[in-house]
Amino acid sequence: MSNNSFAGSAKQERESQREDESAVLTRLLKYLLPYKKSFFMAMLAMVVTASTSSMIAVLVGKLTDQGFYEKDPAAMWWAPSALLFIALIHGLSTFTSSLFLQKASQGVLYELRTQMFSRMIRWPANVYQERTSGSVLSKFINEASTALGTATEMLATMIRDSLQILALSFVLLYYNWQLSLVSVVVAPILAVIIRWVSKKSRSYSRGFQTSLGELTSVVQEAYDGQRIIKVYDGYDFEDQRFKSLNAKIKKLAIKRQVVTGAGTPMTHFVSMCAVGIVVVVALMQAQAGLLTLGEFITFLSALLLLLTPIRHLASLNGSTGRMQAAAESLFSMLDEEPEKDPGTKELGRVSKEIRFEHVSHTYEGSEEPSVRDFTLTVKAGETVALVGSSGAGKTTMINLIPRFWVPTSGEIYFDGVAQSEVTLKSLRAQIALVSQDVVLFDDTIAANIAYGRENVSREEIEAAAEAAYLMPFIRSLPKGLDTPVGEAGSKLSGGQKQRISIARALLKNAPILLLDEATSALDTESEKYIQKSLEELMKGRTTFVVAHRLSTIEGADKIVVMKDGRIQEIGRHDDLLAANGLYAHLYTIQFSKHANA
């Protein structure tokens, strides 16, 4: 490839990066529109701040001429008073601009986090598999604050310091335009420094944000898996994993600081070179009688005051990199498509049948289907048990019914209405779920049982808890139903958590019940009572059961035996045993294990 081609490609890449930066910043700033009043008040205050800076330069020059050379006695009184007044106005305007900008930025941060959370809980199942919980948490806690805080800081700096530069430049041009022209000779050098800082900082900031999300995941995994770490002596492994990421973050942070930190003294040095050139030219003008000391002091004061906003604007390049990386990460989360809901029909209470017609499903990135050509008709009130070895497709089928996963081909019908034609809300209103992985929220037992149900009476909650054999345990607690369960139910045993999950399903009273290893976490005594409550719950409901213990599904109306995603056998317990097929093989193996135990 020719040098011209390389140059053209590099140019296109730079232009593309600038467009991306502009698009991200524009999108971020659009969130400020509802807070335009606060932003307008902040801008007014910034105008006052900028004006006071130029007034200080003019005042110092006047004081030099009138106080030191003309020896005007009035200068002893008006000069200190004026300086104090200007300082007071400067301080008040700076405080006011910061306050109103903070109001705007916190409002935007609230809106961003709200949108992020709303979008997150509506993601399709595949997105949860692709993103770690730690990286998602990092976006809420770190990246949202970084993006908004940095964007607000950038806005304030850009507006306030640009206004100060304009005001002070006017003073410079007004008092001596020749010296003003001399001072801008360093502008190209400043531009090169600023571009270098921006490019490097953006690169390091992206790596920093990614590594921070990974670190959050490691911390969360270690916190949740503390018992496994202790039992399997995983201390060294976890320490090393954390140290590796922590060192990477440290390295990136230092590199970023080196770049941004070097930018400020470099611009300061170049700016001071400009001041030196100005002093030389000013002395030449003074010796020629073209410049008074007061005019020179005014010019020099304005020029020195100009250095601070210039340095601030130069340091924005590091902030731009951090903001760009954080905002891109946030918007990637916001831009994830929510779960598709193509249905338009409202599904009433299912009372006739559920029909599976040639249903197949293949997970994204997988070559082999998890479910193949599944065809089955289930009458209302029947209990269907899905049986098979691990990976047979049982849990996939359970997840296809509420449309957590969408069939790759085929269709599921509820009372003759296609699943793809009904709204997700009306479909899921027909379903209660009790799974092996119990999900409890950091709230009370009562709140967890009544989750998602409005206007539920205390008596109804107690009745559901009683049916789930939970009330004897609840009565032993000082706060009863109002006892907090802790984060993820950390204050409860596995059996207690599972019974709360069953009580939640009982309270919903849905016509379709999904039991995915519902009794796997229970001890033998608890399972005996839970099985009775489940039998009561299953009466009059269409139930799909995935159970590891085949003894718990002997009474099912249909036992569907699956292998490699296909249906191998269908029948009742006794018939399948008599057929001496796959079910009989699985049952014999499990029965032999229990007998030997």
| Phi, then psi, of 354 in degrees rounded to 5 | -120, 130
Q: What is the pLDDT of residue 13?
A: 47
How many Cα atoms occupy the beta-carbon half-sphere of 171 within 13 Å?
29
Per-residue pLDDT of the chain (597 residues; tens, 9 = 90+): 444 444 444 444 444 454 456 677 777 778 778 888 888 888 888 888 777 766 766 666 566 655 555 556 655 566 667 777 877 888 888 888 878 877 887 787 788 888 888 888 888 888 887 877 777 777 776 666 666 666 666 666 677 777 777 777 777 677 666 666 666 666 666 667 766 776 677 677 777 777 877 787 788 778 777 766 776 677 888 888 888 888 888 888 888 777 766 766 776 677 667 667 777 777 777 677 676 666 667 667 776 776 677 666 665 655 566 666 677 777 888 888 888 888 899 999 999 999 999 999 999 888 889 999 999 999 999 999 999 888 899 999 999 999 999 999 999 999 999 999 999 999 999 999 888 778 888 889 999 999 888 888 999 999 988 888 888 889 998 999 999 888 778 888 777 888 888 888 888 889 999 988 766 655 566 666 667 667 767 778 899 999 777 877 888 999 999 999 999 999 999 999 999 999 898 888 877 655 454
Neighbours of 163 (CB within 10 A): 20
User: Would you call 9 exposed, middle or buried from its count of C-beta atoms within 10 A (0-12, 13-18, 19+)?
Assistant: exposed
DSSP letter for 415, please.
T
Neighbours of 484 (CB within 10 A): 15
Residue 137: its H or E element: helix 133-138
Q: Please, which residues have CB within 8 angstroms of residue 480's CB and are 6 or more apart in sequence?
A: 445, 474
- For 31-334, the fitting CATH number among 3.40.50.620, 1.20.1560.10, 3.40.640.10, 3.30.70.330 is 1.20.1560.10
User: Would you call 262 exposed, middle or buried from its count of C-beta atoms within 10 A (0-12, 13-18, 19+)?
Assistant: middle
Dihedral Cα 127, 128, 131, 135, nearest 10 deg? 130
Q: Which two tokens stand for residue 202?
A: 């953006």
**Beta bridge mates, 563:** 566
Cα separation, 360 vs 371, in Å, equals 5
Residue 418: its H or E element: strand 417-418
Q: pTM of the prediction?
A: 0.68
Tokens 């309270």: give the residue. Answer: 507
Sheet with 417-418: list strands edge to edge: 371-379, 353-361, 409-414, 417-418
Cα separation, 537 vs 506, in Å, equals 6
273-to-153, 165, 178, 187 alpha-carbon distances in Å: 28, 18, 17, 11
Cα separation, 264 vs 160, in Å, equals 18
| Cβ atoms 212, 142 nearer than 8 A | yes
User: Would you call 443 exposed, middle or buried from its count of C-beta atoms within 10 A (0-12, 13-18, 19+)?
Assistant: middle
Q: What is the pLDDT of residue 364?
A: 85
Neighbours of 564 (CB within 10 A): 15
Q: What is the pLDDT of residue 509?
A: 87
Q: Which two tokens stand for residue 66?
A: 């009138």
Q: What is the pLDDT of residue 8?
A: 47
Q: What is the pLDDT of residue 11?
A: 46
Own/partner pairs for 398-402, CB < 8 Å, 24+ apart? 398/514, 398/516, 398/544, 398/546, 399/125, 400/359, 400/361, 400/371, 401/354, 401/431, 401/512, 401/514, 401/544, 402/427, 402/428, 402/431, 402/433, 402/514
**Beta bridge mates, 444:** 484
Cα separation, 583 vs 373, in Å, equals 20
Q: Which two tokens stand for residue 484?
A: 């907090």
DSSP string across 538-570: HTTSEEEEE-SSGGGGTT-SEEEEEETTEEEEE
Q: What is the pLDDT of residue 214?
A: 78
